[in-house]
Amino acid sequence: MIWVAPPDRGWIRRLGPLLATHRHRLTWSILTAIGAMCLGVTIPLILRSAIDNALDERTRALWPLVALLIAVGLVRSILTFAYRYGLYTTAFRLEFQMRTMLQDHLSRLSFAFFDRVQSGQIISRANSDIRSIQMFFAFAPMMAVQLLSFTLALVIMFRIDVVLTLVALTPMPFIFMAGQRLRNIMFPQSWIVQGRMAEVATVVDENVNGVRVVKSFAAERRQIKALARAAQRLKWANLEMQRGRANHNPIIENLPRLGLAMVLLYGGLKVIDEQLTIGDLVAFNVYIVVLQTPFRFLGMIIMLAQRAKASAGRIFEVLDEAPSVVERPGAFDLVEAEGRIVFENVSFSYGAETIGGATIDDPVRVLHDLSLTIEPGERVAIVGPTGSGKSTIPRLLLRFYDVASGAVQIDGTDIRDVTMSSLRNTIGLVPDEPFLFSASLHDNIAYARPTATRSEVIEAARAARAHDFICALEDGYDTEVGERGYDLSGGQRQRITIARVLLANPPIVVLDDATSAIDVQVEADIHAGLENLLSNRTTIVIAHRLSTIALADRVILIDDGEVVAVGTHRDLLKSEPRYRAVLDSEIEAL
């Protein structure tokens, strides 16, 4: 995986390793651009010779010069195509690499990062910010070549007439000062614009993902107003940036024309006095146009550069984020796990993860000195009041977060000593909020094992009691589900996620309130199917319903982040008033 250079370098130097992968294409693109530029610079010289020698003095034939101009134009066209194609191809490939690199890094980041960063901010950086960098690298080399043509044209102009060249350069210091002022204005404004674009993306993302909540409260107008406020802030930032361009671009673009007028006046007088030929003056005026070209695009390239710099800073904020959960050196694969799980004196607080040595939020204690043991093949229900830390246990088991103290072990091995991929392949999680991808039902179930056959997918769906409702759909297993699967009921989505885990066939299964959205009759059917499949498999059930607790051999009661009671459902019901209180509260909530 190609990475960027360390943070102590400028943003372009940080992208050096990425740019180095395209060095050959960049090299020939720039060489062909220089060739096209050199041919362009020779055109005024050929034109001068045609005017002075062929038309005025008639010392040579005209047609060879015309043929030469045509040949130069054709070759220049070919070289221009070559370098533009090469630069744009490089820019788009760079964009592809940056998107892939950002996605790869996001997949490595811990849940603590996603807990505190809005999804709209991430989407904005993965789209508009990367596109800003791509546009800069598509146009910046062209501008560099234009500056080289500026230098060559200037040398030739000095050879024609030094004083006339100085007259043409008179406005240049003022153009430079205007460009510097525009550059100083554009960078902070570009940063603000990119941030405001992220705000708009966040509002849109929340409106789309929360559309059912919005509609259920008839809050469409409120959300439209929220989007309008974000769009208004973006409009203001964009207008401020364009106002800066509007104030400075006319100066940058038109001051060179003042130099052209002075050249026509002074050069015309020299032609009248026969101190300069007509061909020299025509060539000189063409070179002034060459001098003007970089300044015509100076405002645009400054805007692109400052926006790219701001965008790169926002992207590097993500790329420089260190995962708080990482594999230890020498981590090994967890293979053929029996499924013995031990939580030994585990403490954990949300927000206590540190990034760069600094605590990112005020920690919220969830677990305190928690210890529990689950034997291989045992089915355990974890019960507790809301906020007691039940759902945190599977998150620590899967290393979505790391414990603050203590240890979590599987088969006597600290899970921090094994690779995360093998750990998570060992554990199948059915979350309380089922998520489906915008794909077919077959692909959603086979997500756990993409090589699974249709018969294997059907077998898992039968076990999860999903086969009948899938077959009732018009396209069956080939039915494409909509965004997050919301065109299915909550119970149907949960059955699909259960089938997904069953297809993976892990030795450890965690059901995090996985049947909460399923009616009692369907839940009974699922439990009947699960009874056989969960045998000889370590199972943790985060339970609320009595019917779900019935799946377990043993119940662990948690309160305030600690284990307060362990036993069978019957024993705890008789001896533990806190257990009865939890069950009573759940029954009242139904």
Q: How do beta strands 405-410 and 413-414 pair?
A: antiparallel
**Cβ 346 vs Cβ 396: under 8 Å:** yes
Out of 3.30.420.40, 3.40.50.300, 3.30.43.10, 3.40.30.10, the CATH code matching 341-589 is 3.40.50.300
User: Mean pLDDT over residues 380-399, rounded?
Assistant: 88
Q: Which of 184-193, 202-211, 242-251 has the lowest mean pLDDT?
A: 202-211
The C-alpha atoms of residue 264 and residue 282 are separated, in whole angstroms, by: 10
**Distant-in-sequence, close-in-space partners of 80: CB < 8 Å, separation ≥ 6:** 33, 36
pLDDT recorded at residue 134: 87
Strands (E), 333-389: 341-350, 354-355, 358-359, 364-374, 379-383
Q: Is 411 helix (H, G, I), strand (E, B) or coil?
A: coil
The C-alpha atoms of residue 443 and residue 258 are separated, in whole angstroms, by: 67
pLDDT recorded at residue 215: 61
The C-alpha atoms of residue 426 and residue 334 are separated, in whole angstroms, by: 8
509: tokens are: 């299964």
Say which residue, 389 or 291, is predicted with more confidence: 389
pLDDT recorded at residue 589: 46
Common-topology check for domains 11-319 and 341-589: no
In 534-576, which residue ranges form alpha helices assigned H by DSSP? 546-549, 569-575
The C-alpha atoms of residue 579 and residue 555 are separated, in whole angstroms, by: 10
Is the pLDDT at 451 greater than 60? The verdict is yes
The C-alpha atoms of residue 428 and residue 530 are separated, in whole angstroms, by: 14
456: tokens are: 């294997």
3-state DSSP helix/strand/coil % of the chain, to nearest 5: 65, 10, 25
pLDDT recorded at residue 532: 57
Burial of 590 (0-12, 13-18, 19+ CB in 10 A): exposed
pLDDT recorded at residue 127: 80
Say which residue, 284 or 376, is predicted with more confidence: 376
Nearest to 12 by CA among 318, 313, 321: 313
DSSP string, 23-75: HHHHHHHHHHHHHHHHHHHHHHHHHHHIIIIIIIS--S-SHHHHHHHHHHHHH
**Distant-in-sequence, close-in-space partners of 130: CB < 8 Å, separation ≥ 6:** 95, 98, 99, 102, 311, 315
Would you place residue 454 in the very low, low, confident or very high pLDDT band (cuts 50, 70, 90)? very high
pLDDT above 70 coverage of the chain, percent:
86
For residue 343, the cross-strand partners are 372, 408
* pLDDT per residue as tens digits for the range 26-67: 889 889 988 988 888 888 888 888 887 766 666 667 778 888
Q: Where are the domains of the chain?
A: 11-319, 341-589
* pLDDT per residue as tens digits for the range 63-79: 788 888 889 889 989 99
Q: Dihedral of CA 252/253/255/259: which sign?
A: positive
pLDDT recorded at residue 489: 78
CA angle 532, 534, 540 (to 5 degrees): 150
Say which residue, 549 or 299, is predicted with more confidence: 549
Would you place residue 533 in the very low, low, confident or very high pLDDT band (cuts 50, 70, 90)? low
Would you place residue 354 in the very low, low, confident or very high pLDDT band (cuts 50, 70, 90)? very low
* pLDDT per residue as tens digits for the range 2-22: 566 677 777 888 888 888 888
Q: Which of 121-130, 284-293, 464-473 has the lowest mean pLDDT?
A: 284-293
pLDDT recorded at residue 438: 79
The C-alpha atoms of residue 55 and residue 60 are separated, in whole angstroms, by: 9
pLDDT recorded at residue 286: 80
108: tokens are: 């490595």
User: Mean pLDDT over residues 442-447, rounded?
Assistant: 90
How distant is the alpha carbon of residue 331 from its chain centre? 28
The fold of 11-319 is ABC transporter transmembrane region fold (1.20.1560)
Question: For the chain, how many helices (H) and strands (E)?
Answer: 23, 12
pLDDT recorded at residue 213: 62
What pTM does this model have?
Answer: 0.71
pLDDT recorded at residue 355: 41
**Cβ 445 vs Cβ 496: under 8 Å:** yes
The DSSP code for 481 is P
Strands (E), 443-567: 508-512, 538-542, 554-559, 562-567
